[in-house]
Amino acid sequence: MTRKIGVIGMGHVGSTVAHYIVANGFADDLVLIDKNEAKVTADAIDFREAMPNLPFHTNITVNDYAALKDANVIISALGNIRLNDGANEDRFSELAYNSEQVKEVAPRIRDSGFNGIIIAITNPVDVITQLYQQITGLPKKHVIGTGTLLDSARMKRAVAEKLGIDSRSVTGYNLGEHGNSQFTAWSTVRALDQPLTELAETKGLDLEALDNEARHGGYAVFKGKGYTNYGVATAAVRLANVVLSDAKTVLPVSNYRPEYDVYLSHPVIVGRDGVIADVPLQLTDAELEKLQNSADFIKENYEKYKN
Residues 97 and 30 in one domain: yes
Phi, psi of 11 (to 5 degrees): -80, -150
Q: How far is CA 173 from the centre of its chain?
A: 14
Residues 77 and 164 in one domain: no
State the CATH number of the domain containing residue 215: 3.90.110.10
Choose the final residue of a domain: 96, 120, 145. Answer: 145
Residues 215 and 298 in one domain: yes
Residues 110 and 250 in one domain: no
Q: Determine the Cα–Cα distance for residues 132 and 122; give it in Å rounded to an integer.
A: 11
Please calculate the CA angle 212-217-219 and round it to the nearest 5 degrees.
Answer: 115
Which residues in 279-291 are b (16+ Cβ under 10 Å) and which e?
A: eebebeeebeebb
Residues 183 and 274 in one domain: yes
Residue 173: pLDDT above 50?
A: yes
Cα four-point dihedral sign 87, 15, 233, 288: positive
Residues 160 and 300 in one domain: yes
| Annotated binding residue 121 | yes
| Annotated binding residue 9 | yes
Residue 155: pLDDT above 70?
A: yes
Residues 16 and 118 in one domain: yes
Residues 13 and 130 in one domain: yes
Marked catalytic residue, from 57, 178, 216, 266: 178
Choose the final residue of a domain: 86, 121, 145. Answer: 145
| Annotated binding residue 82 | yes
| Annotated binding residue 14 | yes
Is residue 57 annotated as a catalytic residue, yes or no? Answer: no
Mean of the pLDDT values across residues 49-77?
98
pLDDT digits (tens, 9 = 90+) for 3-33: 999 999 999 999 999 999 999 999 999 999 9
Residues 157 and 135 in one domain: no
pLDDT digits (tens, 9 = 90+) for 241-287: 999 999 999 999 999 999 999 999 999 999 999 999 999 999 999 99
Q: How many domains does the chain have?
A: 2
Choose the final residue of a domain: 103, 130, 145. Answer: 145
pLDDT value at position 219?
A: 81
| Annotated binding residue 34 | yes
Burial class, 137, CB count within 10 angstroms (exposed 0-12 / middle 13-18 / buried 19+)? exposed
Q: Determine the Cα–Cα distance for residues 231 and 49; give it in Å rounded to an integer.
A: 25
Expressed as residue numbers, the domain containing 80 is 4-145
Residues 65 and 207 in one domain: no
Helix ranges (H only) for the chain are 12-24, 37-50, 95-112, 125-136, 149-163, 196-203, 207-225, 230-244, 285-305
| Annotated binding residue 12 | yes
| Annotated binding residue 108 | no
| Annotated binding residue 142 | no
Cβ contacts of 266 within 8 Å, gap of 6 or more: 173, 175, 252, 255, 257, 278, 279, 281, 291
Peptide bond into 124 cis (omega under 30): yes
Q: Which residue has the higher pLDDT, 94 or 62?
A: 62
pLDDT digits (tens, 9 = 90+) for 179-225: 889 999 999 999 999 999 999 999 999 999 999 988 887 788 888 99
| Annotated binding residue 226 | no
Angle between helices 230-244 and 12-24 (to 10 degrees): 50
Contact 110, 132 (CB under 8 A): no
Q: By C-alpha distance, which of 296, 281, 300 is closest to 152? A: 281
Query: What DSSP string describes 48-98?
Result: HHHGGGSS---EEEES-GGGGTT-SEEEE------SGGGTS--GGGGHHHH
Residues 88 and 197 in one domain: no
pTM of the model: 0.95
Burial class, 86, CB count within 10 angstroms (exposed 0-12 / middle 13-18 / buried 19+)? middle
pLDDT digits (tens, 9 = 90+) for 69-79: 999 999 999 98
Residues 153 and 299 in one domain: yes
State the CATH number of the domain containing residue 114: 3.40.50.720
Which residues are 263's β-sheet partners? 256
pLDDT value at position 87?
A: 45
Q: By C-alpha distance, which of 125, 9, 137, 124 is closest to 75? A: 9
